[in-house]
Amino acid sequence: MKTIFYNAVIILSLSVLSSCNNKSETEKTTMKEEVKLDSVVKGSTIDIKLSNIHFTKGLNNAENLITQEAGEKIVFKAGEKTDYFSDPNEKLSNTTAPILLSKADNTKPFTIVAKVTPEFTEKGLYNAGVLYIFVHDTFYQKFCFEQDERGNHRIVTVRTTGTSDDNNHDIVKEPSVYMKISSDTKTVASYYSLDKKNWQMVRLYKNNYPKDIWLGISTQCPVEKGTTSIFEEISFEQKSVSDFRLGI
């Protein structure tokens, strides 16, 4: 009986030790993955401070394509054929759009808001002003005020997890919209408004982003020779909307 008891103790001890080692290895792997996710954002280190947001990284020369004007207005240029899209058919894949990024703690609620005025022209297909949640080149969401194939100006969301989807939402006839992305750590939702009071939800999904993410603004010009978007009233805070259906 003693032999059986001692053998049982030894087996139990080895099992606990193995479990601890496995847990340790899992934690190390998770840490490595988080470091890797952060390190693949290879843009420039920048220092662009507004009263309610601090941009510390620029992709695709973004920091040299903006002009800061009175009232914390950012005029953001994009060159020809600039876009961020991972085409399932690969033909239209492009990661050249300039983006200003601000780091955020995704273990806490967050909200980013901006008034966006893109430059829409007769031939400016897919020209857009854009808000981003960004992890790396194949894991991000962009939220656009964009010109479509028929010349309409639409609210558009694109979620990329390896490849991109493409969702056209409401047509907006005003030149500017307020755009908002918010999360309570479990859910992410995107909204637009014409008056910054009444918000329309256009997309909601599970927040499966890592603990460190980037929030950003961008302008894109996938087809023509260049465009400009204006961003005003940009704000970031570590709290979410209280009603995810109403966006308030």
Per residue in 182-205, pLDDT (tens digit) is: 999 999 999 999 999 999 999 999
What's the domain range around 1? 1-39
Residue 71 lies inside a defined structural domain of this protein: yes
pLDDT tens-digit map of 172-184: 999 999 999 999 9
Name the pairing type of β-strands 99-105 and 94-95.
Answer: unpaired
Q: What's the pLDDT tens digit per position in 62-102?
A: 999 999 999 999 999 999 999 999 999 988 999 999 999 99
Whether the CB-CB separation of 85 and 96 falls below 8 Å is answered with no
Q: Are 96 and 81 in contact (CB under 8 A)?
A: yes
pTM: 0.84
DSSP secondary structure letter of residue 56: E
Please check whether residue 242 lies inside any domain of the structure: no
If phi > 0 it is left, if psi is from -120 to 50 it is alpha, else beta; for residue 126 that is left
Residues 217 and 150 in one domain: yes
- d(Cα 50, Cα 66) in Å, to the nearest integer? 13
CATH of residue 65: 2.60.120.200
Q: Is the pLDDT of residue 29 over 60?
A: no
How would residue 26 be classed by pLDDT, with cut points 50, 70 and 90?
Answer: very low
Backbone angles phi, psi at 246, to 5 degrees: -90, -15
99 - beta bridge partners? 59, 218
Is residue 100 a part of any domain in this protein?
A: yes
State whether 31 and 49 are in the same domain. Answer: no
| DSSP-assigned beta bridge partners for residue 160 | 140, 164
**Count of domains in the chain?**
2
Tokens 């901006």, residue located:
114
